[in-house]
Structure 1
Amino acid sequence: MEELLTPISQTYRSSNQAGGDLLSLANTTKAPAEPQPGFQGSTPEQALEALKGQPGYDDLLQILKWLRDGTRGTHPFDIRKPNPQSAQIVHVLVTEIVPNYWTLLKESSSSQKKSQPVDLLLAGLQSIGGLNAALTYIRALLLEARKDPKGLKHSPATPNLVSALDLVACILKHNTHIQSIWHAVSSTEDNAGKIRALGQDFVSSIAGGKVVSLAAEAEDVLHQAGMLEEPSWVANSKLYAEWLGNNLVDWARSNPSSGDLKICADLTGRGLKLGHSDLMTKILFTGLVLNDEGQPTFAKLLDLLSSADQRKVMLIILKLLSSEYLSSDETDEAIEDYPAVWAAASALQAVVGTSSVRKAQLITWLTGATGAGLGETCGIRRAALAALADDKEAMFSVLESSLGLLGDQLYIKHSPMLQQEAHAQVLLLSAGYVHRKSPIKLNVLLRSSNFLNTISNRIGASQERAKFLGMVVGEALSGLIHNEDKRLNFHMDMTDSGEGKWYKSLVSVADKVGPISPLKSQEIPKEKQAAPKPVKETPRPAPKPARSMPQSGFIIEEIEDEDETAEEEDDDLVAYAKPDSDEEDEDDDPTLINRNKPKAPVYIRDLITYLRDTENYDRQKLALTTAPVLIRRKANNGTEVSAHAEELATLLVGLEDKYELDNFHGLRTQGMIAILVAQPQKMARWFAKTFFDGDYSLSQRASVLIVLGISGREIAGFETSDYSDVASFPSKKLPAKVEKHYEPSAPGNRYISGSTSLKALPPNALDSISQSFSQAFLAPLAAEAADAATGPDVLKLSSFTSRLQQQQSPSSAGPDSTSRTKPRGVRAIPNTTANLLATSFFFPLTSRFQAALHSASATKRGILFEPSLLTLYLKTLALLLHAAGPSTLALPQMTAEFWDLLLGVRAHCVGEVGVSGAVLFGLMALLDVNENDSRGLCQRHGHEVVESVEWVSGVFDRTCGGDQGGNGEENQVKMMAAGVLIRLREMVEKYRALLMGDMIGFA
């Protein structure tokens, strides 16, 4: 019968009442009780026994005060010192006291000001033993909760998880707790061996990832049980990394001993592997390097790290300086003294210190095949060279290595152009330093064969941009040591242009190490601004109902004949349209109708305010619907768009569909397209950088690619946006009477006006464009003449000759197909558009992809090779290449970079039909744009042609070897593979002599 009884409450009595009889207990309620002394123990055994005996609240406070006094040195027992007695007491506190008294202790602490009961408990648990005991308890509760047959909601372990998780968060709350926890252990131990073992345990517990993983698992269980009230910061890896970095900064600022600094270095090394190394390094950099007193400590901290960790920190700091402090265009346009560059040089010099390892890493970054700040401004390269300016040997090593790298033929042919430009800038800057320090060395170097080979290889390159870099380098270096009559001068317009003069002026740049204060002044504006709180609008009083006119006794009505009325009506008079019904007026409750709606923004600053107000539905909807038209209208009128372009793009890229608006993604994409079309040269590079470096989701990165692809085609003249017509001012439109004669429906009209109805952008806009392009490419190859019974199998190589004959017959293809001999439509666009697409759209995407492949971040590489994102990335590059067209001067370089990239991702096509289709689509774009230069392709890219034939042939055989029916995507891949294979084999057969060396071993 006892197991059927369930207690509804428990009452605890003191020990002196336990021995009395029931009659004496009745009298105690009438007379006031005498004050009891409480816990009066003096040994840890007595404290442990009292804790196990279910003490009352007052007795518990007495025990906790006695344990706290031990941590202050009042008595010899310190619970923070690891020993069997303290371990038992900590275990009881965590597993018995915390589940029963945690809520009461926190409530009592919030009501008191001086003495905090919860601090008494934490004083004994802020140690390695206390943290490990709490983590072990959470692990046991998780195991118990998941194995409970009653489920998570009814498991008794689930409520205890709440208090245990809150306990861990309180143990690791402040920025000085890591330091205090370690000092509590190290101050009580004299044995060096024990201290070393405790240090390893301490580092593993704090920075090993156990806290974040267990806390996140506990939050998941509480969320499933419906008991998670507020997420804990210890379960967020980003917040935990930020807390760890702040703790390390505070500890390093307190002049730690050599032993403590070694512990800080171990924590830093393990913390860099938590997944947020950029954030943690930024906190250490701003807290120590930007603080003059912390610079020596930071250098010592780096000396204790491994060589790989030092390299990681160095690369992160270089990227941080370039993106956060040297991202202004002034560093590229101006070569005069620039304080921010001097401050960055001072910061880099403090980071390098006296370490030869980090100095060698900085030289490797400047001269490496994947370094020198690819895609960043010239300011970071100026700062890096200024930090090495005092070392003559290091500067000459940079100059010699850069010269040899720029003259390498394989480097010229296969390296991204942005990377070659960065190394050319390093070469010119370092040549200026060497000339001022030791002009004899520069004179000897320019007379060597290395310099002559570099210039000759550059001039003989097929890429115009490679020739340009070689000529400006030759003229600039020759101008340093030769007189006016003897110096090298190619007398080319490109070298005398503004860009050529800027490159040649780099040899005169002499940066120095200056004060670091300019970087401190940029800390506040560079921080991400928090969204302002929405202002609650006071509702206006409801309008009074209008008085109805009294009806008179007579109603006079004139009835006209419909035919006469139609003849007398003037055509110019347009009847008013029926007003649309207000959605909010349909509400049954009139008090819920909001009559105080915000007005549409008319200035860019108002649009930014609306986008930031994420708590206001009406403002969010108005901002999204107004942004495309407003940005296009303001693009060429004033500086509103150019001054706020990056801020607008940042808000739109990171905007979330909080209210599930209709066509949210289409409107958001159109807003980003409007920004990019308004400022293409600046914002195309910004979007490319955001795609690789931004902290965004896969869908947000995909939207960036869609914006780049569609905007590039719109700039090139392939796509027209309905928003461009709507955004134009009325003064630029024809009168209504005249415009109707130019409607598309009017016969004989050559002018086609854009539709005034705004259409939603489909989510698969790039897929639709790529599919239409594929059909246009395959139509001359008998894609439309395929037999429905056999499907794509008619394109097999066995019928190769017959299909070539059909291509020459006008009737072989369908009525909608076009012959390959017919000239394609010529777009009337300025030649600068093709250069813009190459330099601002295409090259930043390909160059940053190559840099990401060699990045130390495995997360970044994993995101890039996600199948759907990689497919969209390759299609975007193919459409940009096609939009640039065959008249692009940079077409040879674009072809080389894109072809290398396509062949480099072949391994990721295995098992992924979408990626295979994207690679085939890229090859189709390459062959289509270079159609009139097939001989040049075979001459310059013979190896790539042969490899592509072999790979495409394998794809075609694999897709045709299985089920002959297949799904739609597989059939499309078969068709594309067949078309690409036919074109490639035509080139191989026609230019077999040129490809003879590359075809060795090719069957």
Structure 2
Amino acid sequence: MEDLLTPVSRTYRKAEEDDAFLTASQPAKSATVSKPEFKGTSPEEALEALKTQPDYETLLSILKYLRQGTKGRNDFNLLRPSPQAAQIVHVLVTEIVPNYWTILKDTSMNQKRTNDLEYLLDCLLSLTGINATLAFLRTLLLEARRDPRGLKQSHAVYNVRFIADLLRLILQPDDQIRRIWQGSSSSETNAGKIRALRQEFTSLVAGGKIVSLAAEAEAILREAEKSDGPSWIADSKAYVGWLSSNLVSWVKSMEGGDDVKLGADLVSRSLKLGHPDSLIKVFLTDLLMQDDYQPVFIQLLDALPQTDQRKVLTILLKLLSSYIPVESDPSTEDYPLIWAAAGVLKVAIGSSPLRKDHLITWLTDATGAGIGESYSIRRAAVAVIGSDKEAITTVVEKSLSQFGDQLYIRHSPILQQEAHAQVLLLSAGYMHRISPLKLTVVVRTSTYLNTISNRIAASQERARFLGMVVGEALSGLVHNDEKKLDFHTDEINPEDSKWYKSLAHLPDKTGPLSPLQAQLVSSRPPKSDKPKPAKPVVNPLSRVASSAPKPGFIIEEVEDDDEEEEDDDLIPYSKPDSDAEDSDDDPTLITRDKPKAPVYIRDLITYLRDTESYDRQKLALTTAPVLIRRKANYGTEVSSHAEELASLLIGLSDKFELENFHDLRLQGMIAILVAQPKQMGQWFAKTFFDGDYSLSQRASILIVLGLSGRELAGQETSEHASASAFPSKQLPAKLEKQYTPGHSGNTYSSDPSKLKALPPTALDNISQSLSQTFLAPLAAEAADAVTGPDALKLSTFTSRLQDPSKVTTKHRSKVAGIRAIPNTTASLIATSFFFPLTSRFLAATHAASSGMRGILFQPYLLTLYLKTLALLLHAAGPSTLALPQMTSELWDLLLGVRGQCAGELGVAAAVLFGLLALLDVNEGDMRGLCERHGREVVETVEWVSGLFDRTRGGDAGGDGEENQVKMMAAGILIRLREAVEKYRGLLMGDLIGY
């Protein structure tokens, strides 16, 4: 290699020349430029000193001088908006912070110099400082995005981290909003300038600009792998929590006037940031529940716009419903929590006629009265206006008129009708106590008679029941025992009827707030001031289930090859593998004290909460499905901790990337729901709409509801159900195969070692299978009828069905899995699973203060929601007594989301699957279906026909989504057109005017 490199020439220097060259290259001491010393005489001098890249001591002198001005110790106040202040702030943010931020933070960590960073933060605590910080952050974000070297090599990313950290520290304390406003407007006397400052201040603090830029900065830092972790300022919910704490701290010190108006502007703007429940909850606990601050809260509420006052009152009703009992015995007269909630509402309404009218509207509106919530909140709301004769009369008259409306009876969710029935009975009881003659007049009007008549003529069993109960209760208040109304029918459940009638005799009142205050204090999670000790990081892959064998005698079993196995049930232990922990180089990573599998529910909860332990998380997830099912019918362990367990499983994240994590989490939630279906079905439905969860977590709730409903109906068999059975209730596996028919061919196995994972598209697979089962008889009939337009139209997709000729309409219900299940199970699915989902959907889409509309109409979640409802209807089966009501609510909902199908084939397929399930379950009563829902039949035929014509497809061998949609649309058209042709005369009445 050295031969290839030949020097061209060589030059040698003397030692004297080298020394002279080195000496000349060094700068002369006399040539060093000394920077002028900062004397702190004027802001101009401070600005010039900042521009000359001062050293650290000079910078501290400048910051001390500027800070003294903010405290009023010199003539220049940097916090006051002015051109000179803007120049100084611009230099501080764009030049000083990027160059000195690291040293400022490092020196501030030293106990001897804790004020260095505070000097800079106090100088930027103003509208000018925050605006300059945001403007520079926006510039840095654009520069980082446009850097051709990429984010990981961009120098702008480092400045983005510094500026984002600066913004977080400026806003961190809980009283910064007040300090920012006072510093920016303390010396301003011009009303016009103050008005402009107020608008700018409101837009800056509560306009969402800070959160959006901070979130973008955090995303860039995470992408560049330079993030220090999530920041509260980039989280909208955490920011709203900080904003609410600042507002409460400021409101407590307000004296009225302009400050209250400014606070109202901030609250009004903050309600549009999202998470309004979190904002109002802080106002409820820290202002409304405190006697000293109630007048300030009322002033603040009066200063809000009318729409925001209604929104605050609606959120307040929703929050109070979560703190009062869900189920209580109305025969008891002592209800301290309900009376305390009524007292809170009484204070919130005050003397405002606007808020009183909104409370009346909330009680009587078609989508109001707290649908799906506890009846206790309706008791508290009626108790507030119970002493007002005019208001309670209005509630009774509006409730009675709406309760008997035929369209309301046919199309309103059953939970909504139950809520309005409760309001009607409660308000009628107050009217009877205030003015018995007025109630007597109301009962004798035609409105009351038409209400009872329309209710008795309703096709839904529950609607008739509510009409009979209301009629008997109101007649019992007015007439004596001889003349009061009594239907003497078996449809009225004695216990349910007694409960509803007792509502008219409840003398509630507004009570003290102390019981509710104690409830709020007990519901708060405990705060721990001690930091958690750091745990050594252990590689999950290095953990094994068994430890190294101890030295000792070796017992070896020698088997004879010719000897037959005597018992197949005796499974030998497998040979242990080599212990990976012993081979680790670092002995500190070896874990000998491994946790044992939990045997009690409280231990399982402890394991699930320990998110830092890999072993506990894995044991909890693998043990939960079997343990919950095993403990379901023994004691109250599961029933007492069901909601807590479900909350932990829903919010659990895959921190350690466990195998089959999502499957195990779903199986745990299914076990809870199957163990306590009546309680947890409604809880899961409420959590889906009210909980603060992501789309994937909400989707998991829907999957759990759908699969649990099918398991309760006997259409699915979980492997964990057989694994959780006690040995005394099980045959050996060898005998079970002989005595259980078809045991070996089941999808699920009772052997825990052979459990199959739940596929991520479980509901999609079930819906696709059921769709083919529904359409198979139609395809067979179309194939037989070789003449006619239907056969020609179906020729494009009938070949895709598997063996359609073997499926006939006669045994169609058997293939589809529909069976005559007991009414108890069907009623449970309807009341605890189906109706809470449909009723809360309507309430969420019509609620002005709810942000659920955008979430619910997300295509994937809407598709999963519709498929879940269809599967629950199919699981309930045709023998369900509530089938007419379920059919009505599902059909109205499917037709209501037709607009969401435009451009979304997945949503269209879900709507069509819901229609297929609806028609299949009601196949035995098509005449009644056309009689009760004639208009829906015609609308469905028209819409499905248009969808069929607009959808491409028809490839006989294709499996695309368009082919699926076209196939289901054709099946629905055939079934409905047959019904229309057969019952044309019956439908003629509903078609008039269509």
Fold conserved (TM > 0.5)? yes
Structure 1: which amino acid aligns with 2:888?
A
Q: Which residue of 2 aligns with 1:403?
A: 400
Q: Distance in 2 between matches of 1:549 and 1:73?
A: 87
Distance change (3 Å), C-alpha of 1:192 and 1:985: same
Distance change (3 Å), C-alpha of 1:988 and 1:215: same
1:514-547 Cα deviation digits (max 9, x unpaired): 1112222222443357899699799999989524
Query: Is contact 1:332–1:379 with CA below 8 Å preserved after alignment?
Result: no
Distance change (3 Å), C-alpha of 1:242 and 1:785: same
Matches of residues 37-56 of structure 1 in structure 2 within 5 Å?
A: 39-56=38-55
Q: Distance in 2 between matches of 1:665 and 1:316?
A: 34
Q: Which residue of 2 aligns with 1:629?
A: 626
Q: Which residue of 2 aligns with 1:3?
A: none
Q: Which residue of 2 aligns with 1:950?
A: 942
Q: Which of residues 373, 378, 382 in structure 2 aligns to 1:381? A: 378
Q: Which of residues 476, 486, 495 in structure 2 aligns to 1:489? A: 486
Structure 2: which amino acid aligns with 1:194?
K
- Shift in Å, 1:868: 1.8
Q: Which residue of 2 aligns with 1:236?
A: 235
Distance change (3 Å), C-alpha of 1:84 and 1:794: farther
Structure 1: which amino acid aligns with 2:503?
L
Query: Is contact 1:38–1:62 with CA below 8 Å preserved after alignment?
Result: no
Q: Which of residues 388, 391, 402 in structure 2 aligns to 1:391? A: 388
Q: Which residue of 1 aligns with 2:714?
A: 717
Distance change (3 Å), C-alpha of 1:580 and 1:533: farther
Alignment partner of 1:878 is 2:870: yes
1:95-147 Cα deviation digits (max 9, x unpaired): 22222222222222221357612222222221111111221222222233334
Q: Distance in 2 between matches of 1:497 and 1:957?
A: 53
- Shift in Å, 1:375: 0.4
Q: Distance in 2 between matches of 1:699 and 1:842?
A: 21
Matches of residues 615-764 of structure 1 in structure 2 within 5 Å?
A: 615-734=612-731, 739=736, 741-744=738-741, 757-764=754-761
Q: Which residue of 2 aligns with 1:314?
A: 313
Q: Which residue of 2 aligns with 1:12?
A: none
* 3-state SS of 1:405 partner: helix
- Shift in Å, 1:52: 2.7
Query: Is contact 1:742–1:753 with CA below 8 Å preserved after alignment?
Result: no
Structure 2: which amino acid aligns with 1:284?
F
Query: Is contact 2:794–2:970 with CA below 8 Å preserved after alignment?
Result: no
Query: Is contact 2:336–2:515 with CA below 8 Å preserved after alignment?
Result: yes
Q: Which residue of 2 aligns with 1:259?
A: 258
- Shift in Å, 1:843: 0.5
Q: Distance in 2 between matches of 1:446 and 1:746?
A: 62
- Shift in Å, 1:444: 1.3
- Shift in Å, 1:736: 6.4
Q: Distance in 2 between matches of 1:452 and 1:746?
A: 59
Q: Which residue of 2 aligns with 1:790?
A: none
Distance change (3 Å), C-alpha of 1:915 and 1:378: same
Q: Distance in 2 between matches of 1:541 and 1:584?
A: 8
Distance change (3 Å), C-alpha of 1:822 and 1:898: closer
Alignment partner of 1:206 is 2:205: yes
Q: Which of residues 962, 965, 980 in structure 1 aligns to 2:972? A: 980
Structure 2: which amino acid aligns with 1:645?
A
Q: Which of residues 893, 898, 910 in structure 2 aligns to 1:901? A: 893
- Shift in Å, 1:231: 3.3
Matches of residues 273-422 of structure 1 in structure 2 within 5 Å?
A: 273-323=272-322, 325-326=323-324, 328-331=325-328, 335-422=332-419
Q: Which residue of 2 aligns with 1:124?
A: 123
Structure 1: which amino acid aligns with 2:342?
A
Q: Which of residues 802, 809, 812 in structure 2 aligns to 1:819? A: 809
Structure 2: which amino acid aligns with 1:79?
L
Query: Is contact 2:372–2:836 with CA below 8 Å preserved after alignment?
Result: yes
- Shift in Å, 1:940: 0.8
Alignment partner of 1:546 is 2:545: no
Distance change (3 Å), C-alpha of 1:461 and 1:145: same
Q: Which residue of 2 aligns with 1:770?
A: 767
Distance change (3 Å), C-alpha of 1:53 and 1:849: same
Q: Distance in 2 between matches of 1:856 and 1:166?
A: 36
Alignment partner of 1:888 is 2:877: no
Query: Is contact 1:780–1:813 with CA below 8 Å preserved after alignment?
Result: no
Q: Which residue of 2 aligns with 1:80?
A: 79
Structure 1: which amino acid aligns with 2:212?
S
TM-score by length of 1: 0.88
Q: Which residue of 2 aligns with 1:914?
A: 906
Q: Which residue of 1 aligns with 2:474?
A: 477
Structure 1: which amino acid aligns with 2:225?
G
* 3-state SS of 1:994 partner: helix
- Shift in Å, 1:53: 3.2
Q: Distance in 1 between matches of 2:112 and 2:782?
A: 87
- Shift in Å, 1:184: 1.8
Distance change (3 Å), C-alpha of 1:957 and 1:871: same
Q: Which residue of 1 aligns with 2:963?
A: 971
Distance change (3 Å), C-alpha of 1:215 and 1:746: closer
* 3-state SS of 1:330 partner: coil
- Shift in Å, 1:604: 0.6
**How many residues get paired?**
949
- Shift in Å, 1:911: 2.1
- Shift in Å, 1:975: 2.0
Alignment partner of 1:941 is 2:938: no
Structure 2: which amino acid aligns with 1:895?
T
Q: Which residue of 1 aligns with 2:177?
A: 178
Q: Which residue of 2 aligns with 1:441?
A: 438
Q: Distance in 2 between matches of 1:358 and 1:713?
A: 45
* 3-state SS of 2:109 partner: helix
Distance change (3 Å), C-alpha of 1:220 and 1:846: same
Q: Distance in 2 between matches of 1:694 and 1:306?
A: 28
* 3-state SS of 1:782 partner: helix
- Shift in Å, 1:882: 1.4
1:917-966 Cα deviation digits (max 9, x unpaired): 21121111111111121111111100001111111222222235787765
Distance change (3 Å), C-alpha of 1:91 and 1:969: closer
Q: Which residue of 1 aligns with 2:453?
A: 456
Structure 1: which amino acid aligns with 2:723?
V
Name which of structure 1's ranges 154-163 and 690-699 shifts more when overlaid on structure 2. Answer: 154-163
1:130-181 Cα deviation digits (max 9, x unpaired): 1112212222222333344444444443322222222222221211111111
Distance change (3 Å), C-alpha of 1:220 and 1:827: closer
- Shift in Å, 1:200: 1.0
Query: Is contact 1:80–1:127 with CA below 8 Å preserved after alignment?
Result: yes
Q: Which residue of 2 aligns with 1:225?
A: 224
Q: Which residue of 1 aligns with 2:852?
A: 860
1:171-201 Cα deviation digits (max 9, x unpaired): 2121111111111233201122211111111
- Structure 2: gaps (5+ residues): 1-26
Q: Distance in 2 between matches of 1:816 and 1:535?
A: 66
- Shift in Å, 1:899: 0.7
Identical pairs, percent: 62
- Structure 1: gaps (5+ residues): 1-19, 29-35, 788-792, 807-811
Alignment partner of 1:841 is 2:833: yes
Q: Distance in 2 between matches of 1:312 and 1:717?
A: 44
Q: Distance in 1 between matches of 2:878 and 2:360?
A: 39
Q: Which residue of 2 aligns with 1:779?
A: 776
Distance change (3 Å), C-alpha of 1:463 and 1:580: farther
- Shift in Å, 1:286: 1.6
* 3-state SS of 2:890 partner: helix
Distance change (3 Å), C-alpha of 1:588 and 1:104: closer
Structure 2: which amino acid aligns with 1:726?
A
Query: Is contact 2:937–2:976 with CA below 8 Å preserved after alignment?
Result: yes
Query: Is contact 1:416–1:846 with CA below 8 Å preserved after alignment?
Result: yes
Q: Which residue of 2 aligns with 1:809?
A: none
